[in-house]
A and B are shown apart, each in its own frame.
Chain A
Amino acid sequence: SQKIEQNSEALNIQEGKTATLTCNYTNYSPAYLQWYRQDPGRGPVFLLLIRENEKEKRKERLKVTFDTTLKQSLFHITASQPADSATYLCALQSGAGSYQLTFGKGTKLSVIP
């Protein structure tokens, strides 16, 4: 069966350090992978999209990598700040031409001042 695993339910890091979140998947052949941020009681906010033929993508302090051989994406936040504290969700397209985005359970990041 298809699975998306974000292997840390919660991650605490010190302000200024780099946070690294992991997303692993099985039995998918996603064309692309997305990362979202969700604050409590709010809708997810899109952060980055990376396609299967891209190894790395950056946006300001954010970096995402995508390894289709390892079936893994890493999401990095450099110089982390308390305002980065939130739940981060990875999401995969379920199939070719599919409208369906399936989300992982998320990692709750807490950046400690």
Chain B
Amino acid sequence: DTEVTQTPKHLVMGMTNKKSLKCEQHMGHRAMYWYKQKAKKPPELMFVYSYEKLSINESVPSRFSPECPNSSLLNLHLHALQPEDSALYLCASSQGPWGLDEQFFGPGTRLTVL
């Protein structure tokens, strides 16, 4: 299985809602990533987990809370988001923990904050 899956595909939420994005990979990869991508912009790194430990937090607001329950799963908990947080949220994984390998991306969750 060489796939990264993400659920849901689309999410519409109000500014007071709490929701979660899920990401799963069964390739035995040791690093997992969350990216945010706005329209016509490149993906921007948000968080990196290596061996299930948070390694990088790119100064992301606390209304985004990542979680890595095990080596195959990555969650992104959302709370009190702003309309400007509307974007495509991409999960990725790579084999080694050191960022020296290609990254496998999921299809993304299209998030709209009303």
Task: Report Cα–Cα, A100/B107, bound state, in Å.
Answer: 20
Contacts of A45 in B (CB 8 A): 105
Q: Which of A11-19, A68-76, A77-85, A103-111 contacts B (4 or more CB under 8 A)?
A: A103-111
Question: Which residue from B48, B90, B106 sits with its C-beta under 8 Å from A100?
Answer: B48
Decide if B43 touches A46 in the complex (CB within 8 Å): no
How far apart sit A61 and B106, CA to CA, in the bound complex (Å)? 25
- Is A46 a contact partner of B104 (Cβ separation < 8 A)? yes
> How far apart sit A110 and B61, CA to CA, in the bound complex (Å)?
37
| Chain A at the B interface: SS class | loop
What are the interface flags for B69-91 relative to A under an 8 Å C-beta threshold, 1 for contact and 0 otherwise? 00000000000000000001010
Query: Which B residues are in CB contact (< 8 Å) with A104?
Result: 42
**In the bound complex, do residue A99 and residue B108 qualify as a contact, i.e. CB atoms below 8 Å apart?**
no
Complexed CA–CA distance, A76 and B33 (Å): 28
Q: Can you list 17 A-B contacts (CB < 8 A)? A: A31-B100, A34-B103, A41-B108, A41-B110, A43-B90, A43-B105, A43-B107, A43-B108, A44-B43, A46-B102, A46-B104, A97-B99, A99-B31, A99-B33, A99-B48, A99-B98, A103-B44
| Sample of 15 further A-B pairs with CB below 8 A, known A43-B90, A43-B108, A46-B104 | A34-B103, A43-B4, A44-B43, A44-B105, A46-B102, A49-B102, A89-B43, A93-B100, A99-B98, A99-B99, A100-B56, A101-B99, A101-B103, A103-B42, A103-B44
